A and B are shown apart, each in its own frame.
Chain A
């Protein structure tokens, strides 16, 4: 029997404000309290609250047979604590059902896994582990990295921390003709890898309401029919949680789809399994080799790091942040550390992406800036100011 392994990514960044060096201090000197709150509240209303409810009902209805996993970023959990206790409560209830497996990732949805030195990456994973343990009472055993960024070294780092599997993108150029619907193992560490089936995932995540698509309109029955055609161990369906009600509005019928899906899947000789259950049920079929310079991700058609580090503005900003690390740590100042870590959030770099054709649409959809150039200037203005804060602090404590 083939397993359907669903995982949803739940994330909101702390976006920067349009920076001007005024008299404000602390975290909100750089980050926009009001707009982040407004966006969070809007998404909570349109997506998090109704989706949590729908999924909890489905779990109830199918008595443990409908199972899936969630990865919730630390930045989103922070926002839930500030502005959305009801959302947090939904996640807690899911944890209690035993049907939902929570995954670990970096607290800040950050790009720290791309630093040569993995200390910060490890620290952020531990921060995340502590937060989900405190807030949701769970101890994840499977890891998913920011935007499914993956290479051998990331797998090794994660494996050394004791995780039992890692999720990543079923990138064609890595699978090289092999199927994403089996378990693989990482070169070097031997860590089991679950590859995203991007075709069946994107049918829901991206194409669900696309009128140009021959699959339109997509029904749960149709989708389950396609899935049941796959003769393999597992079908890994990974997507943004915001697909439900936010990327795909309620009017598209996405909630009706979600509500019908478990039943349609279960009646077709398919079962639902979470990532940990997949690892326990199946054995890796082959080794996967992804060198550090060939890092993959689930973003854009390139499936690489170019969505965040594709142009000079992005690389410059990222390099500034990376080189600042030892100085930030030397200050030992919790507020400075907190700000710096939030500046590693991948979204800031995504806003600066200039790949206009095709993927550019997706980028501008997710961005609060009118152009990627505005985003880059704003970020670097923050860097300029923040860097001075760090070096002033170091001078003061010297």
Chain B
């Protein structure tokens, strides 16, 4: 289950820029981010309690907590404590990811990616006392470029999107052979939980854990990988309390159908990996990848990040290097890319103009910094 609360850029005006080393408030509205965190954090806390009940009944889950979310958790020790508690049950696996929730796996220089993975691993150790064995890239993006590197860094499992071009006609119901044994997300069943669960006009509404377990038991294959936004469940919880029953009763319902719940790193040790030739390509694949880097504005933004990254690297050791580096992290968030392509060009491109303006001021600050 993924949890991400991005730092969204604010509606910036160039008059705020053009001089000095920017503070985070120049580009981001921290008050707004904090109040969103307060609100969602409360929901997550309630959901964590439910999940704990589910775990006590035999449920096994894993969490992909995004770097930006983890950082915000520092504002609320109670929330952090609640994740620790879940971790201590031994039934929860925390996975690794990019600390900035970025698309750095697409940059020409992969040291950016590597650094993010290491930073994230360190943060997870510090805050939750665990070391991740499984890697989940931002938005489940799959790119063959980084798999070998991840294996060398000690990861033992990779979860990626079960995108149609990757599974090429197969069902994503196996462990697949790769430098890193790979699990692919089952899109439909994941989206049933994340998106459709509380939709009253959905033909399968209301979805009970028994019905869901029945569907799964009728499927062939070794393993079914479900991945969805945890905050999506919060939304359902606001609308209908049946999600609470679903979470509580899921372990028993699965068990009665003879279905075992597993963490990803357990899974890859239990089943023999199957060959999937598409995985060995150097291609970058994700279902809906065009939403992230598919339009001209997104391509320009990505390209500019790469250039700024190069310029920033030359500043190591300068007075404001770490301050700039931290801000650069926020500017790389995947969410920024997604919001430039929300389906309507008007919405996305008006934002893109704002982001470009922000990025141009940030780059100015980098260029003005003395190395």
Contact = CB atoms under 8 A, between A and B. Distances in A.
Interface of A: 18-21, 312-313, 316-317, 319-320, 323-324, 327, 354, 371, 373-374, 376-378, 380-381, 383-384, 387-388, 391-392, 394-395
Nearest to B364: A391
Interface stretch (B123-131, B275-283, B296-304): B296-304
Nearest to B348: A373
B367 interface: yes
Contact of B367 (A316, A374, A377, A395): A395
Return the 9 tightest CB-CB contacts between A and B, nearest first.
A373-B349, A391-B367, A380-B356, A384-B360, A319-B14, A387-B360, A380-B353, A313-B353, A377-B297
A175 to B, nearest CB: 35
A327 B19 CA distance: 11
Contact of A316 (B297, B303, B345, B354): B354
Given A21-B307, A381-B300, A320 B357 contact: yes
Given A323-B17, A384-B359, 19 more contacts: A312-B11, A312-B353, A316-B14, A316-B353, A316-B354, A317-B353, A323-B18, A327-B18, A374-B296, A377-B356, A378-B296, A380-B357, A381-B297, A381-B300, A381-B356, A383-B356, A384-B357, A384-B360, A392-B367
A21 B303 contact: yes
Contact of A395 (B348, B349, B368): B368
Contacts of B15: 319, 323
A108 B13 CA distance: 25
A383 B296 contact: no
B203 to A, nearest CB: 37
B87 to A, nearest CB: 43
A395 B18 CA distance: 14
A384 B304 contact: yes
B363 interface: yes
Does more than half of chain B's interface fall in helix, strand or loop, or is it mixed? helix
5 contacts: A374-B296, A377-B296, A377-B356, A384-B356, A384-B359
A316 B359 contact: no
A316 B12 CA distance: 9
A383 B359 CA distance: 11
Nearest to A380: B356
B23 interface: no
B350 A373 contact: yes
Nearest to B350: A313
B359 A376 contact: no
B353 A371 contact: no
A319 B353 CA distance: 12
A327 B14 CA distance: 14
Contact of A323 (B14, B359, B368): B14
The CB with the most chain B CB atoms within 10 A, among A312, A313, A388, is that of A388
- State the main secondary structure of chain A at its contact with B: helix
A387 B303 contact: no
Contact of A377 (B17, B300, B304): B300
A356 to B, nearest CB: 10
Among A323, A376, A380, A394, chain B packs the most CB atoms within 10 A around the CB of A380
B346 A320 contact: no
B352 interface: yes
Contact of B350 (A312, A384, A387): A312
B357 A316 contact: yes
Interface in B260-315: 296-297, 300, 303-304, 307
Contact of B360 (A19, A377, A383, A395): A383
B364 A380 contact: no
Interface residues of B, number: 28
Interface in B174-224: none
A388 B367 contact: yes
A205 to B, nearest CB: 31
A109 to B, nearest CB: 23
Most chain A beta-carbon contacts within 10 A, residue among B14, B297, B350, B368? B14
A374 B346 CA distance: 9
Contacts of B11: 312
B342 to A, nearest CB: 12
A2 B360 CA distance: 55
Nearest to A322: B14
Given A319-B13, A391-B364, A395-B368, A377 B18 contact: no
A381 B354 CA distance: 11
B360 A388 contact: yes
A377 B345 CA distance: 11
B367 to A, nearest CB: 4
Contacts of B304: 21, 384
Contacts of B18: 323-324, 327
Contact of B364 (A18, A354, A387): A387
B353 A376 contact: yes
A25 to B, nearest CB: 15
Nearest to B344: A373
B352 A377 contact: yes
Task: Determine which residue in B296, B303, B345, B353 has the highest number of CB atoms from chain A within 10 A of its CB, and name it.
Answer: B353
Interface string B1-20: 00000000001011101100
Given A316-B13, A388-B364, A392-B367, A371 B345 contact: yes
Nearest to A326: B18
Interface in B141-190: none
B36 to A, nearest CB: 23
A312 B303 CA distance: 24
Nearest to B297: A377
A21 B15 CA distance: 25
Given A21-B303, A377-B296, A380-B352, A388 B14 contact: no
Nearest to B307: A21
A377 B349 contact: yes
Contacts of A371: 345, 349
A20 B359 CA distance: 16
Contacts of B13: 316, 319
Contacts of B350: 312-313, 373, 376
A59 B368 CA distance: 59
B368 A374 contact: no
A225 to B, nearest CB: 47
A115 to B, nearest CB: 13
A372 B352 CA distance: 13
Contacts of A20: 300, 303
A374 B350 CA distance: 10
A392 B364 CA distance: 8
Given A21-B307, A377-B352, A388-B367, A320 B345 contact: no
Given A21-B303, A316-B13, A371-B345, A384 B353 contact: no
A246 B17 CA distance: 43
Contacts of B14: 316, 319-320, 323
Contacts of A18: 296
A353 B145 CA distance: 42
A386 B68 CA distance: 31
Given A373-B350, A377-B300, A320 B307 contact: no
